[in-house]
Amino acid sequence: MPIRDTAETRAVTLVDIPLVRRLSEAGGMVLDSELFYTDATGAQSSGLITLLLPYRGVFTMVTRTENQQIAGQFRLRQDDAYAQITYVSPAPQEGESDSAWLHMLDSMAAEAGKRGAHLLTAEVEESAPLFKTMRTASYAIYARQEIWCRAPEDAKPYEPRHAVELTHTTQDDMAGIYVLYGNIVPKLVQPVTELPGEGEGFVYRRDDRVEGYIGAVDGKMGVYLTPHLHPDIFSDAADVIAAAIAKVERTGKVPVFVRVRRYQDWLDDALVELGFTICARQAVMVKHIAAGVRAAAFTPLRQRLETVPSPVKPPNGITESRK
């Protein structure tokens, strides 16, 4: 006789507070590298307690089976086409049944789809058991990335080769940044690449053209940078990154983290020169939720016939003259 599937997944309610508190204390995985490296609650695995109910686009769910109980979160920003899994607790262990996590991943995709998302993404370390579970749940690898880190005490004295001027992003920079993204970000990755907003990073121009953009998030646990530099400024890469670090005041007090996706691995030498080392290797995993389909619109046949022009009739004068 087949084993009956008793898994149940639903949105969190106030009744689930004791369960969520217990699960968060058991330790989990943050699947959003920006959140993990900048936010104290995310890094300490207690984010579930403070975000029980839908808040700023964050949704929490719980899954119960006969032997397992887990909780998960995803974030869907307004007007975004993709949702981001932010947290799963507890993390699956090697050799453990992953049926509860499979139910959670499918349920989060369904819930995100109901709220308008077309894709559900997560940033997962390839050595983690959850990576295999997500492959089983039909998540595909869209990109690979490395997180480079540098503690304040490891910062090396650096003399720039060239004078570099960076400015905070303004609305006037957006068109140039979009062109830069289109030139350097692979088309497969573009749907899950967040575009910057005004004031959310620094722009580097050369010959009045945007040749670099570095996103910057200053959080409790550290500063998180996302460089997008055109290969034409290869020789200036270290200078541009160093200038961006200098513009964030707290980089002398907290660690600095730099996310580099594989298509920009030519930045590795510049980061080594600035005293950074690799602290994580991750896969950007994506699940397609739905494809946009234009619904066919049917008009009653009678209404369509009414719009068909009648046969052309000659003017009355001509008809009468022929008679």
User: Per the structure block, which two tokens stand in for 84?
Assistant: 């981001």
In this predicted structure, what is the pLDDT of residue 307? 52
| Cα 242–Cα 247–Cα 250 angle in degrees, nearest 5 | 100
What does the pLDDT look like over 128-170, one tens digit per residue? 999 999 999 999 999 999 999 999 988 888 888 888 899 999 9
Strands (DSSP E) along the chain, which ranges?
8-11, 29-30, 58-64, 69-75, 82-89, 119-125, 140-150, 166-168, 201-206, 209-218, 223-229, 256-261, 277-288
Q: Residue 136 belongs to what H/E stretch?
A: helix 129-136
At residue 21, what are phi and psi to the nearest 5 degrees?
-60, -45
What does the pLDDT look like over 69-120, one tens digit per residue? 898 999 988 777 889 999 998 988 888 888 999 999 999 999 999 988 999 9
pLDDT above 60 (res 54): no
Pairwise CA distance, residues 177 & 281, whole Å: 26
Pairwise CA distance, residues 28 & 117, whole Å: 24
| CATH number for region 149-280 | 3.40.630.30
Residue 114 identity: K
What is the chain's mean pLDDT, rounded? 83
| CATH number for region 8-138 | 3.40.630.30
- Same CATH fold assignment for domains 8-138 and 149-280: yes
Pairwise CA distance, residues 179 & 158, whole Å: 31
Q: Burial of 176 by CB count in 10 Å (0-12 exposed, 13-18 middle, 19+ buried)?
A: middle
Contact 268, 241 (CB under 8 A): no
Pairwise CA distance, residues 69 & 90, whole Å: 8
DSSP state of 221: S
Mean pLDDT, residues 173-179 taken together: 93
Pairwise CA distance, residues 30 & 211, whole Å: 32
Listed in sequence order, the residues at least 6 apart from 180 whose beta carbon sits closer than 8 Å to its beta carbon are 210, 211, 212, 213, 228, 230
What does the pLDDT look like over 186-245, one tens digit per residue? 999 998 888 787 678 999 999 889 999 999 999 888 999 999 999 999 999 999 999 999
In this predicted structure, what is the pLDDT of residue 198? 67
Pairwise CA distance, residues 213 & 199, whole Å: 12
| Per-residue confidence band for 293, with pLDDT thresholds at 50, 70 and 90 | very low
User: Per the structure block, which two tokens stand in for 315?
Assistant: 């003017």
Coil vs helix vs strand at 101: helix
Pairwise CA distance, residues 101 & 130, whole Å: 8
- DSSP states of 232-290 as a string? GGGGGHHHHHHHHHHHSGGGGTS-EEEEEEGGGGGGHHHHHHTT-EEEEEEEEEEEE--
Annotated domain spans of the chain: 8-138, 149-280
